């Protein structure tokens, strides 16, 4: 019986492996055409002051609707783009589009609202990333202070000296630097004092259990107080409830992002939110909770 089970498992394993491989190939092939076919879009998720719910920025989040595969999550296609090298043209498109679109609201007078762009490790390792960022900003005409770059801990682990140099080159341009998914990267904390960082984005994993789960409370307190003592802004992501907002605000977290305030929105809807000037959620849950 055990033998039979084992063999079935083995066959099942094999079959699922090749399904994965086929899917991966389909994603990679689809991605090759995605830029040319205009299948990529950026959505904007507001970042708000936790006390007042005023919008102070937005994170650009890429969406892909493939003509063959339908909508594919960035959680699936970004790693494929990284492994295939396609992340270089796609990442360039994301950076340039986010800056160009942020210039739209900048030109409407919202100089106080930055755009945050996720960088992949492959882009970060590119020798002339800072030059590329500078070139995009100047061709678009967006002030560097309006661009925040989100990096992950895992990008900063190896070759500390080259990493410090790369971060310093970016800082010199005048952009701000945030650590995304903070607390999930298994890296040494010592990098926090060596690198010129502006903000920590506390991962949703530490927010979900608040305020009832004691372990989550302990972790959240430790992370927020450490970040504050080191002089970083704290952005809490994945805020879904008013209690999470209230709890983290009381701890001293400055900025929040999550479905409580707004889902990621198409550019036009995000600009409409900026235009009506109202703080999010309290006055207008209906127009911010549109599923997407």
- Do 151 and 179 meet the contact criterion of CB atoms below 8 Å apart? yes
Residue nearest to ligand C2E (CB): 258
Pick the closer one to ligand C2E by CB: 93 or 278: 93
Region binding Mg ion by CB under 5 A among candidate stretches 35-43, 179-187, 218-226, 272-280? 179-187
CA distances from 217 to 114, 185, 195, 208 (A): 30, 19, 27, 10
Q: Pick one of Mg ion, ligand C2E, none as the site partner of residue 259 (Cβ within 5 to 8 A by kind).
A: ligand C2E
Taking each helix axis as running N to C, give the angle between helix 87-107 and helix 129-140, from 0 to 180 degrees, rounded to the nearest 10. Answer: 40
Cβ nearer to ligand C2E, comparing 30 with 238: 238
Binds Mg ion (CB under 5 A): choice among 106, 180, 220, 224:
180
Instruction: Specify the residue, 116 or 274, whose C-beta has the smaller distance to Mg ion.
Output: 116
Is 150 one of the binding residues for Mg ion (CB under 5 A)?
Answer: yes
> 92 contacts which partner out of Mg ion, ligand C2E, none, CB within 5 to 8 A by kind?
none
Residue 264's binding partner, choosing from Mg ion, ligand C2E, none, with beta-carbon cut-off 5 to 8 A by kind? ligand C2E
Cα–Cα dist 287/262, whole Å: 9
Nearer to Mg ion, 31 or 116 (CB): 116
The two three-digit tokens of residue 126, written as one number:
């590119």
Q: How far is the CB of 118 from ligand C2E (least distance, A)?
A: 4
Indicate the residue among 30 and 170 with the shorter CB distance to Mg ion: 170
Nearer to ligand C2E, 258 or 274 (CB): 258
Q: Whole-number minimum distance, CB 291 to Mg ion, in Å?
A: 19
| Contact partner, 73, from Mg ion, ligand C2E, none, Cβ < 5-8 Å per class | ligand C2E
Site string for Mg ion, 227-246 (x = CB under 5 A): ----------x---------
Given Mg ion, ligand C2E, none, residue 256, with its beta carbon under 5 to 8 Å by kind, binds none
Mapped to the 3 state alphabet, what secondary structure does the chain carry?
Answer: CHHHHHHHHHHHHHHHHHHHHHHHHHHHHHHHHHCCCCCEEEEEEEEEECCCCCEEEEEEEEEEEECCCEEECHHHHHHHHHHHCCHHHHHHHHHHHHHHHHHHHHHCCCCCCEEEEECCHHHHHCCCHHHHHHHHHHHHCCCHHHEEEEEEHHHHCCCHHHHHHHHHHHHHHCCEEEEEEECCCCCCCCHHHHCCCCEEEECHHHCCCCCCCHHHHHHHHHHHHHHHHCCCEEEEECCCCHHHHHHHHHHCCCEEECCCCCCCEEHHHHHHHHHHCCCCCCCCHHHHCCCC
66 vs 257 by CB, closer to Mg ion: 257
> Can you give the binding site for ligand C2E, defined by CB under 6 A?
45, 60-62, 73-75, 78, 94, 118, 120, 150, 180-181, 204, 237-240, 257-259, 264
Does 118 contact Mg ion by CB under 5 A?
yes
Which residues contact Mg ion by CB under 5 A?
118, 150, 180-181, 237
């Amino acid at each position: 019986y055990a033998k039979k089970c084992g063999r079935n498992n083995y066959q099942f394993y094999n079959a699922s492996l090749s399904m994965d491989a086929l899917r991966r190939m389909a994603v990679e092939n689809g991605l090759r055409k995605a830029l040319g076919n205009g299948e990529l879009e950026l959505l904007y998720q507001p970042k708000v002051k936790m006390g007042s719910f005023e919008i102070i920025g937005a994170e650009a989040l890429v969406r892909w609707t493939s003509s063959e595969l339908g909508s594919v999550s960035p959680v699936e296609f970004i790693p494929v783009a990284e492994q295939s090298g396609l992340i270089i043209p796609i990442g360039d498109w994301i950076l340039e589009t986010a800056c160009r679109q942020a210039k739209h609201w900048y030109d409407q007078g919202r100089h106080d609202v930055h755009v945050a762009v996720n960088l992949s490790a492959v882009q970060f390792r590119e020798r002339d990333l800072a030059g590329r960022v500078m070139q995009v900003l100047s061709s678009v005409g967006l002030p560097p202070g309006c661009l925040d770059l989100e990096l992950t801990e895992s990008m900063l682990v190896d070759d500390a000296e080259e990493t410090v140099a790369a971060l310093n080159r970016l800082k010199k341009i005048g952009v701000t630097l945030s650590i995304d998914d903070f607390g999930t990267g298994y890296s040494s904390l010592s990098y926090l004092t060596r690198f010129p960082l502006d903000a920590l984005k506390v991962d949703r994993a530490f927010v979900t259990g608040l305020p009832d789960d004691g372990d989550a409370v302990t972790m959240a307190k430790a992370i927020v107080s450490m970040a504050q003592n080191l002089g970083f802004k704290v952005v809490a992501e994945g805020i879904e409830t008013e209690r999470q907002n209230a709890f983290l605000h009381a701890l001293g977290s400055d900025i929040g992002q999550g479905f409580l305030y707004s889902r990621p929105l198409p550019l036009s809807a995000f600009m409409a939110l900026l235009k009506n000037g109202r703080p999010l959620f309290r006055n207008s849950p209906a127009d911010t909770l549109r599923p997407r």
